[in-house]
Chain A
Amino acid sequence: NAGVTQTPKFRILKIGQSMTLQCTQDMNHNYMYWYRQDPGMGLKLIYYSVGAGITDKGEVPNGYNVSRSTTEDFPLRLELAAPSQTSVYFCASSYPDGGEAFFGQGTRLTVV
């Protein structure tokens, strides 16, 4: 059982470049999330989705976009990368009560 799978694990971007972080889950969860984690800080919610075709902003959405065309996939798009987006990104999914979330292994992104 794969759970939540994120790709890539590591990436270095130059300022102004764009990229998509991939996330897929095989647990048939309706709810999916993107968080970022900076050193010594808690996880901050970027975007979330309660089902295919439905997305909404979290605490820190600026500079990011998401889409949810299927239950399984929830990609995160970075347009015009900035150094402030250097972070570790986690995708997660959960059942509709939103509590017990299952996390992927993370993507460590560095913008130089």
Chain B
Amino acid sequence: EDQVTQSPEALRLQEGESSSLNCSYTVSGLRGLFWYRQDPGKGPEFLFTLYSAGEEKEKERLKATLTKKESFLHITAPKPEDSATYLCAVQAPQGAQKLVFGQGTRLTINP
């Protein structure tokens, strides 16, 4: 069974304090790994797709990386507006229409 585990569940940082969020996954043949951002009371918003080990994607203060067992979302010099829940999801070839989500990491950036 495909599984996704995110850690930590919650993370509180000071503005400018860099850190990383972890997404560990078990899937029989990874088709893609996705990162989403979710603000309170809103639907998830797409950030990145990673397809193969060693791949990296960047967007402003965020960088996502992928290995064969996990993905990291690195946040460099975060600002309060980066506060959100970050969701990781995997897509297996046989379930191409289905994403399996982790439980999310709730990130708070204090000014």
Contact = CB atoms under 8 A, between A and B. Distances in A.
A42 B34 contact: no
Interface of B: 4, 9, 31-32, 34, 41-46, 49, 87, 89, 91, 96-104
Contact of A41 (B41, B45, B103): B103
A60 to B, nearest CB: 12
Contacts, number: 60
Chain B facing A: main interface SS = loop
Chain A facing B: main interface SS = strand
29 contacts: A33-B97, A40-B103, A42-B101, A43-B44, A43-B87, A43-B89, A43-B101, A45-B98, A45-B99, A48-B98, A50-B97, A90-B43, A98-B91, A98-B97, A98-B98, A98-B99, A99-B34, A99-B49, A99-B99, A100-B46, A100-B49, A101-B46, A103-B43, A103-B44, A103-B45, A104-B43, A105-B41, A106-B41, A106-B42
Contacts of A4: 43
